[in-house]
Every structure is written in structure tokens, then in C-alpha cells.
Structure 1
Amino acid sequence: MAAPWDLPDYDDHEGVHLFHDPDSGMRAIIAIHSTHLGNAAGGMRFWHYPDSAMAITDALRLSRGMSYKNAMAGLPMGGGKAVLLADETRTKTPEMLRAFGRAVDTLGGRYVTAEDVGITDDDMVVIKGETDYVSGLPVEKGEAGGDPGPSTALGVFLGVKAAVNRALDQDSLEGVHVAIQGVGSVGGGLARLLAEQGARLTLADTVDARVAALAEELGADTVSVDEILFVDADVVSPCALGAVLDADSIARLQCKAVAGGANNQLATREDGGRIFERGILYAPDYVINAGGIINVGLEYLGQGDRAEVEARIGKIPERLEQVWQESAATGDPASTVADRIAKQLIGR
């Protein structure tokens, strides 16, 4: 396996840390992309990878995305990400979580963790027993913090509305057809918010029971996960895992806009250009899905309550519009514009 700095996605990371605790079986990667704006903040993902190289690549891509996301969200925090490696059975134990907490603590605050895929706020309580460099803990109603999923969903919802306004020249979501890939915490929350505004929904998820129940609740249609991106819809919203937009899938899109909550939706940087060339409006993922890190970031920083969280999430459409306006003016893809702005903010 190549060294991390030889991988295409290394991108001048400040550090890539590998941890192993034999007693608990914990194996983890913590990637720190930038601390230019402050402590590197980003969630921990519990996932099974076919090999170590794929795990490290995912950590690198997610970490860089957090640098850009936190910068674009106006948070005084850098970007980092952790991957807690799962076995094929995805067995997660308190001992593994505690060992991970001790690993985070050895970095002395350069990295602040929170929950991501496969991790809950109860898991964060276990980790909190070993380190103070943690956020996303259960909080009282009205306070910043807790599960970031609903905050991410709110930001994506506002971003979808902004995309509909620009791509369809329509203020209302009534009758707008949105195809959502993945209906977990973020995608499911997004679906409910869209349904309240009269949107027409098509849903897909790898968990059949989950998507069937939500479709019945909201009166939505369902298709397979292999079909969802290619539904003839106004908006396609990827809200599962990343790298779903590549040369093949982009060529098959039948939508006017792509606006979703998944991280790293583009398989390669060139894919942003492919979407742009097709005339499809793209909402850069780390701009539209920043609601969760705004929530747990303000919790960690002790800056504001739930009202402040929602006020900052409310600025996501403004940031998207800034990107789209510059894209239209320069002829550069929205993904390129967003990267350029974010790099300037983190001094690169």
C-alpha cells in the first residue's frame, strides 16, 4: 500500500494518524487537513472498508471537505475527520469507543470529534469519558448541539429551495419533484420538510423497511437504489455515501439540479465540470450540508443556542447563491468556484 502522502487525495494534509488498540480491537484513522482557522473539527465514521487504502482515502477526502465546509460556514475551526474501522459484522463496543477517545486525547485538541455515519450521540457520551475534545453530546431542548442530523437536513432543505429558485425560477416547492437517495437521519428529515411544502418525492434506501415506512408516511414513490439518481425529476438529492457522481452517472442524470446532503458526492474533481457542461445546477456538498457542523461546532465553542444555530444555517442559501453567481459570471463549474473560495479562506 502506498504511503498516505503518495495518495491522490493527500492534498497537503497536516497529519494522518493511525491508531490501534489490541485489547479492544479498535483501529482508527484521524486525518487533519488544516488547523489554519482553529482546531480541526469533523465527525467520526464507523464503516467497513474492503482494504486499508480505501479507508485512508475516505478519511483524507472527508477531512479536506471539513476544512472547506467549516471555512465556508464561517466557523473558527479547521478541518479533520476520523474513520473507526468496522469488521464485516460492524460490531461496535464501548471498549472500542473508549480506546478511540483516548486516541483523540493524545492529539491535545488539534482534532475535535463528533458523530457521523454509524455513530450516535450516546456513543459520544462514552467517548467523552476519555477526552474533552468531543461534541455532538445530548443537550437540553433549545441548546446548540446533540445529533447533527436534523440540522444537516434543515440546511439541505434550504439549499434545495435555493436550487429550485435558481434552476426552475420557482419560489414554491409545491409540485416540485425531488428524488432522494438515502433516507436516514438527513435524507429522511429532508423528505419530511419537503413534503410539508408540497413537494413530490421519490425515495430510495438500502434498508427496505425504512424507505417503505417513510414512503407510506409521506405518500411518496420508491425506486431501487440503482435507479434513484436517474429518475426524471426536478432535483436529485444524494443523501447517502459519497462518490456517486462520476462520468457514467452524470451522463444519465435527468434533472435540473443536484442538491443533497452526502459528503464528497463527486467521484473526482473533474466530475464537477461534467455536471456543469450538462447545464445541471450543482450545490457543492460541503456548502449545502454544513448545518450539522454548525450545530456541533457552536456547541463545542459555547457560542449561542439553538436559535443561533438556525440563524447560521439560514445563511446557507446565501453562500450557495454566491457560488452560483460567480460560476455564471466566470464560466467555471460551481465545484471549482466553491473550492477556490474555501482555499482562500484557509490560506491555500
Structure 2
Amino acid sequence: MSSIWNELDKDGFEQFIWCRDRESGLRAFIAIHNTNRGPALGGCRLWPYASEEDAAADAMRLARSMTYKAAAAGLSYGGGKAVVIGRADDPRIEQQFEALGRFIDRLGGSYWTGVDVGTTTAHMDAVARFTGYVTDMSGTLGGTDDWTADMTAYGLLHGMKATAKRICGTDRLHHLTIAVQGLGKVGWALCRYLRREGARLIVTDLSMRLVEQAVREFQALPVAADRIYDAPCHIFAPCALGGILNLSTVERLQCRVVAGSANNQLAAPQSVHLEALQRKGIVYAPDYIVNAGGIIATAAELDGDGPRRIRSRVKRIARTLTEVYQAAENEGITTAAAADQLAELAMHKA
């Protein structure tokens, strides 16, 4: 674990909490990266991590990304993340999330949680029995019809439109082929939006049931999971887990743009893979810019906004991304570096 403590110190984390409750079997981590702009906001992930070290590292990566995501979006919140080691079918899962709620409550409002990969409204309802610092419960916008995932997809749609306008001169997507990797909540919602725009879809997922359903509902072209990188398309949209862009996969890409909802899409070291994308003339839409729809919607709901106002705020992702592209061009830097500059400036101003 020594490398984890080194990373915590190097990246300036404010708090890192190991949560363990013997009675329920809870094993979790809460990472609070930065609260300069306000309380840390970030969902709770449920995943069967191979080790506690893997879980801790994931919490740290995601929390740091949330700080930058919130700052770049102009939100009055910082970045944090919770990860629970386990599976949804664990008979004690409800008790584990109740225990997590007790840990979160002890933080006194410095961290707010919500749904993320693997978690549901029911999990947040369990957390809410022991703390008020939680979103996406039953009866809230975030707790209905996969609202947070839908807003993430909605923001990604407008990020794609802004990118298309920059490279094609129009924000209409009906003439584009878009390859979607991952048909989870966000990927599925994105396909629905893209189909309404008239885009042609290529899809893949580890679940053949979801792929077959996408073929029926969206007239999508299916490809095997390990062949999605080879699919000729205009936009490649990684919407599954992160770390999928490395020298091997970048070399195989046959697209003009990478724009997806997955967090931390670039494998380390990021600069190497950004350079590889640039050499191929592929535009990279920084992940925490285009996938910010969920946190923008959650923050807006906490601020008291209704659905129409929330959608309007999420659409601003297009404007933010356009600013990033322009800054990258003006300064001769990568789009990822331009995004970091935008977020870090917002943090310093706070």
C-alpha cells in the first residue's frame, strides 16, 4: 500500500477513508481529492475488485477526475468518490450500504455520494437511512429512470455535436457513423439519442443480449468486443470502463474523433497515448469534459433546478468543449492539456 500513500501525497488528496464494517462485511474506500470550490461530489461504485489495492487506486483516480470535472463545468463542488468492494447479489448488500451511510455521515458534509457503476437507487436509499449527504434516492430526479446516466449521455451527445461542427462544419450527426463501446446505462441512452439524430451505429458489449437488442431497436451493426477498435467510423465512443486507449488500441483506431463517457480512457502514461492520437490525426474529446452531464445534473438538482433548467445546463458542455479545442489550437497543446488548464484555473480562482 506504500505506493498508494505516495500517490495520495503527490496528488494532494485531502482525505482518504478506509471503511470496514465487520457485521455487514462492508469493505470500501472514500477518496476526497479537493474541496476548494465546495463539498466533494462523486458517486459510489460497486465492483468486485481483485484486491483492496485495486479498489483504493480506482477511488483515487476517479476522485481526482471528479475534481477536474466539477471545476471545468463551473460547479460549486469539489471531487470525491466512494468504491465498495462486492457484488449486487450479496445477501448483505443492503446492510453494507447502510454502514457506508454511517461512514459518510461522519464526514459532516464534506462528501456527497450518488449512483455510479454497479449501484442503484435502492443502494442510495439504504445510504440515506443514515445520512443526508446522498443523492439519487427514490423520489428524486436522479432516482428515476436512470436520470443521471441519461444526462451523461445527453451531455455527450452535445459534445459530439460541437466536435462535428468543428471538424465537419455542421453539428448534424445524421451523416456520421459512431461506434459505441459498452451498452450499459450511459451507452444505451447515447445510442437512443444518436439514433434520433439519424446517426449510423456500430455497437459492442460483453452481453450478447444487449447487442442483439441494440441491433433490433437502433438498427445497429454489431461487432465483437475485441474488434470495435478496427471498425471504420467517424466517432469512437468508449462507454465502458477506462484505460482502454493504449499504443496498441490507438494504432488500430479508424476514426476521426474519440468522444465517450468512460472515465480515465487513456492508459498511463497518458501523454504517450495522446501523442499517438495526434500522429493519427484523431481529435480527443477529454473524458471529464464530455462526460460531465451526470455531475452537472446532480449539482443542479441539489441547487433546486428542475428538468428543463438542468438540461440547459448540461448542454453547455458543447460550449466548454469548444473552448478547450480553441485553447489547444491557439497554444499548440493537446486537448487534454487544455482541459486541465481550464479546470486548474477554475480551482485556483476558487
Q: Which residues of structure 1 form unaligned runs of 5+?
A: none
In the TM superposition, 1:198-209 aligns within 5 A as: 198-209=198-209
In the TM superposition, 1:311-330 aligns within 5 A as: 311-330=312-331
The amino acid that maps onto 2:131 is T
Residues 27-76 of structure 1: per-residue CA shift (max 9 Å, x gap) = 11100110000000000000111222221111111001100111111110
Shift of 1:343: 1.3
Matches of 2:78 and 2:102, distance apart in 1:
21
Give me the CA root mean square deviation: 1.9
In the TM superposition, 1:252-331 aligns within 5 A as: 252-268=252-268, 269-270=270-271, 271-300=273-302, 302-331=303-332
- 2:16 match: secondary structure: strand
- 2:289 match: secondary structure: helix
Matches of 1:91 and 1:150, distance apart in 2:
29
Task: State the partner residue of 2:29.
Answer: 29
Whether the aligned pair in 2 keeps the contact of 1:9 and 1:61 (CA below 8 Å) is: no
Shift of 1:122: 2.2
Residues 299-341 of structure 1: per-residue CA shift (max 9 Å, x gap) = 22x3311111111011000000000011111110100110111
Matches of 1:329 and 1:125, distance apart in 2:
47
Task: State the partner residue of 2:343.
Answer: 342
Matches of 1:288 and 1:22, distance apart in 2:
39
The amino acid that maps onto 1:274 is A
- 2:2 match: secondary structure: coil
In the TM superposition, 1:50-199 aligns within 5 A as: 50-86=50-86, 93-139=93-139, 146=144, 147-199=147-199
Q: 1:325 to 1:247 in 2, by over 3 A?
A: same
Shift of 1:145: 6.5
Matches of 1:9 and 1:289, distance apart in 2:
27
Q: 1:343 to 1:92 in 2, by over 3 A?
A: farther
The amino acid that maps onto 1:230 is D
Tell me the TM-score normalised to structure 2 length: 0.94
Whether the aligned pair in 1 keeps the contact of 2:46 and 2:87 (CA below 8 Å) is: no
Shift of 1:282: 0.9
Q: 1:58 to 1:91 in 2, by over 3 A?
A: farther
Whether the aligned pair in 2 keeps the contact of 1:9 and 1:60 (CA below 8 Å) is: no
Q: 1:3 to 1:103 in 2, by over 3 A?
A: farther
Whether the aligned pair in 2 keeps the contact of 1:204 and 1:228 (CA below 8 Å) is: yes
Q: 1:97 to 1:144 in 2, by over 3 A?
A: closer
Shift of 1:77: 0.3
Matches of 2:9 and 2:329, distance apart in 1:
28
Q: Which residues of structure 2 form unaligned runs of 5+?
A: none
Matches of 1:258 and 1:123, distance apart in 2:
32
Q: Please say which of residues 313-322 and 82-91 is displaced more in the overlay.
A: 82-91
Matches of 1:161 and 1:6, distance apart in 2:
40
Whether the aligned pair in 1 keeps the contact of 2:259 and 2:290 (CA below 8 Å) is: yes
Matches of 1:209 and 1:96, distance apart in 2:
30
- 2:224 match: secondary structure: coil
Q: How many residues align?
A: 345
Shift of 1:138: 3.1
- 1:20 match: secondary structure: strand
Whether the aligned pair in 1 keeps the contact of 2:65 and 2:288 (CA below 8 Å) is: yes
Task: State the partner residue of 1:229.
Answer: 229
Q: 1:222 to 1:8 in 2, by over 3 A?
A: farther
The amino acid that maps onto 1:317 is A
- 1:107 match: secondary structure: coil
Q: 1:90 to 1:272 in 2, by over 3 A?
A: farther
- 2:308 match: secondary structure: helix
Q: Please say which of residues 308-317 and 49-58 is displaced more in the overlay.
A: 49-58
Tell me the TM-score normalised to structure 1 length: 0.94
Matches of 2:236 and 2:253, distance apart in 1:
8
Whether the aligned pair in 2 keeps the contact of 1:145 and 1:296 (CA below 8 Å) is: no
Matches of 2:193 and 2:332, distance apart in 1:
33
- 2:226 match: secondary structure: coil
The amino acid that maps onto 2:294 is G
Q: Please say which of residues 317-326 and 80-89 is displaced more in the overlay.
A: 80-89
Task: State the partner residue of 1:210.
Answer: 210
Could you tell me the percent identity over the aligned residues?
38
Q: Please say which of residues 37-46 and 170-179 is displaced more in the overlay.
A: 170-179
Whether the aligned pair in 1 keeps the contact of 2:31 and 2:59 (CA below 8 Å) is: yes
The amino acid that maps onto 1:257 is V
Whether the aligned pair in 1 keeps the contact of 2:153 and 2:190 (CA below 8 Å) is: yes
